Amino acid sequence: MATLSDIGVAAAINILSAFAFFLAFAILRIQPVNDRVYFPKWYLKGLRCSPLANGAFVSKFVNLDFRTYARFLNWMPAALQMPEPELIDHAGLDSAVYLRIYLLGLKIFVPIAFLAFTIMVPVNWTNNTLEHSGLTFSDIDKLSISNIPNGSLRFWTHLVMAYAFTFWTCYVLKREYEIVASMRLHFLASEQRHPDQFTVLVKNVPPDPDESVSELVEHFFLVNHPEHYLSHQLVYNANKLSELVNEKKKIQNWLDYYQNKYERNPSKRPLLMQTGFLGLWGESVDAVDFYTAKNERLSRDIFLEREKITSDPKSIMAAAFVSFKTRWGAAVCAQTQQCRNPTIWLTEWAPEPRDVYWENLSIPFVFLTIRRLIVAVAFFFLTFFFVIPIAIVQSLANIESIEKALPFLKPIIEVIPKTIGASIPMKATFFITYIMVDGWAGVAAEILRLKPLIIYHLKNFFLVKTEKDREEAMDPGTIGFNTGEPQIQLYFLLGLVYAIVTPILLPFVIVFFALAYVVFRHQVRIDIFPE
């Protein structure tokens, strides 16, 4: 059983680990060789130039200004000084709302911790139940509800506090929801115009023997939306063209590499020694001339393929992106049925190109319906067969049912519940240690960006040939909503569950929310402003 001294040692280790991560980050981030790792979006936006291009040889890789090392924690106040409206303008509403979740944790648990330590902890501490229970316990466990004797009137304190904590949590959630809803409305009202706000995706355009797909789409929307229709763009099956474009990008990259190499040393033309498979055999040719000719050939192939696609009716999919003159016109079209037959002229808001699975745009409505039916049937049988074991377990979910079904367990059943009830609050030390490792040292390690740092230098050493390669090697990354949000839910769950039974866990949760807020606010901030 962990004692106060054990918790203190664990806390010291994790605090030192977090400080070591911050110190390592402070040193690595100011080294010129790591500049592109810690400020990638500034380079992509053209706001920063590489420090490797100027100065002495050593200063290109190592920061020799020792005054900057003394300011290794300056990023913390800088991260907190940015006003939230400014953060929304530059990083978007999602990032701002994500950061507010950590603030929400502080708003909930700081008052709860204050009440718990001023009311419940003294009530728990001034008992001696654990000393006469025969259980192994520590001083921390004396602060938990396990130290209250059975049938004691002191349980009313925990019951009242449970209702108070629940009320406060619901109130803060309601207030936060109202604030975020207001922020969203304000953001949408003040947002600059984007093409997708005026565009609708139209699928299942019906065939017409007298008109082409383009003529049919234009005629349909001129008749049904005459005051708002602006233009349209058909969707083509251009998989081969896409392959040619990607190939041309690779060839252009090699051409840039050899041209740069030749410009640095004009007296020596770079040779591509062998043109065969994997460069293992073949004749030696001039690299610049070879890739120039190949690039020109691919440009011709791309032009011919584009002409072929636009002139071949079979390459045209039964889908189009239709643009409107006003947002209102686009909204009406996206949210209404366009004709009596509900299987054709299907409209929806146009997503970003990165969110479109282009191959599915050509799937007819009937086949999509069949696929949905197959999934629905599979889901039904999965749910049906899953209900059977759940029903069996649920029937034994209370003590009386277990005693009737398994009478030989009656002696144990009359004693597993009281013991468990006393032991669960005493297991808070495990979660305290977990929070310190994952929520303190783990969050501090987030700021180091160790994985992008290693990957960038490996790519830079083995793969980078041109400036374009170097830009692609930079990984701006994301905040990680998919992994960060479940982590936040876990800490909310731990805090709310143990607030009543073991309040000593609350300060550790509060430190997590405070530290995570500062760290992730910095991660959002460095993507915006130079220092």
Residue 483's pLDDT is what? 77
Q: Annotate 227-256 with DSSP letters as a single string.
A: TTEEEEEEEE--HHHHHHHHHHHHHHHHHH
Q: Which of 158-167, 371-380, 453-462 has the lowest mean pLDDT?
A: 453-462
Q: What is the pLDDT of residue 531?
A: 45
Q: What is the mean pLDDT of residues 446-456?
A: 84
Residue 26 makes CB contacts below 8 A (sequence gap 6+) with 69, 72, 73, 75
406 has which bridge partners? none
Same domain, 46 and 131: yes
Long-range pairs, 479-482, Cβ under 8 A, ≥24:
479/95, 479/98, 479/520, 479/523, 479/524, 481/94, 481/98
Beta strand 285-286 with 271-272: parallel, antiparallel or unpaired? antiparallel
Residues of the chain with pLDDT > 70, as a percent, come to: 82
* Strand, coil or helix: 210: coil
- Separation CA 194–CA 187 (nearest Å): 13
* Same-domain status, 400 and 324: no
- Lowest model confidence (mean pLDDT) among 30-34, 173-177, 289-293, 333-337: 30-34
**Domain hosting residue 300, numbered range:** 195-351
CA distances from 321 to 236, 309, 350, 509 (A): 11, 17, 7, 49
Q: Which pLDDT tens digit goes with each residue over 69-114?
A: 777 677 788 788 888 888 888 778 888 999 999 999 999 999 999 9
Tell me the per-residue pLDDT of 22-32, one tens digit each, with 9 for 90 and over. Answer: 888 888 888 88
The number of angstroms, rounded, from the C-alpha of 215 to the middle of its chain's C-alpha atoms is: 42
Question: Does residue 95 fall inside a structural domain?
Answer: yes
For residue 25, tell me if it sits in a domain.
yes
Q: What is the pLDDT averaged over residues 292-308?
A: 92
- Same domain assignment for residues 241 and 287: yes
Q: Give 248's pLDDT tier (boundaries 50, 70, 90).
A: very high
Q: Among 282, 317, 351, where does a domain finish?
A: 351
- The pLDDT tens digits of the residues spanning 196-225 come to 889 999 988 888 888 888 899 999 999 999
Neighbours of 302 (CB within 10 A): 16
pLDDT of residue 529: 44
With a cut of 60, say whether residue 450 has pLDDT above it: yes
Task: Clarify whether residues 155 and 268 are in a common domain.
Answer: no
Task: Report how far residue 334's alpha carbon sits from residue 327's, in angstroms, rounded to the nearest whole number.
Answer: 10
Are residues 85 and 66 both part of a single domain? yes
Residues 158 and 24 occupy one common structural domain: yes
Whether residues 174 and 205 fall in one domain: no
For residues 127 and 202, state if they share a domain: no
Tell me the mean pLDDT in the region 362-378. 85
Q: Compute the mean pLDDT over every residue in the chain, rounded to the nearest whole number.
A: 82
Minimum mean pLDDT range among 86-95, 380-389, 405-414: 405-414
Distance, in Å, from the CA atom of 57 to the CA atom of 505, rounded to the nearest integer, reads 52
242 and 324 assigned to the same domain: yes
Confidence band (pLDDT; 50, 70, 90) for 394?
low
pLDDT at residue 155 is higher than 50: yes
- Kindly state whether residue 362 falls inside one of the protein's structural domains: no
DSSP count for the chain of H helices, then E strands: 22, 6
pLDDT tier, 181 (very low <50, low <70, confident <90, very high otherwise) = very high
- Spatial distance between the Cα atoms of 282 and 458, rounded to a whole number of angstroms: 30
Neighbours of 236 (CB within 10 A): 16
Q: Count how many domains the chain has.
A: 2
Q: Count how many Cα atoms sit within 13 Å of the Cα of residue 125 in the half-sphere of its side chain.
A: 12
Q: Is the separation of the CB atoms in 239 and 254 below 8 Å?
A: no
Partners of residue 232 on adjacent β-strands: 322
Nearest to 130 by CA among 443, 398, 429, 422: 422
Positive or negative: CA dihedral 279, 284, 289, 295: negative
What confidence score (pLDDT) does residue 170 get? 96
Mark which of 336, 351, 366 sits at the end of a domain: 351
Q: Find out whether 349 and 201 touch, Cβ atoms under 8 Å.
A: yes
Residue type (1 letter), 513: F
pLDDT, average across residues 384-389: 81
Residue 442 lies in a domain: no
Question: 48 and 136: one domain?
Answer: yes
Cα distance between residue 50 and residue 339, in whole Å: 57
Q: For the residues 274-291, what does the mean pLDDT come to? A: 70
pLDDT tens, position by position, 306-334: 988 888 888 888 889 999 999 899 999 99
Decide if 389 is inside a domain.
Answer: yes
Question: What does the pLDDT look like over 410-427, one tens digit per residue?
Answer: 666 665 756 665 556 656
Q: Indicate whether 105 and 208 sit together in one domain.
A: no
Q: Give the mean model confidence (pLDDT) for residues 505-523.
A: 92
| 250 lies in the same domain as 326 | yes
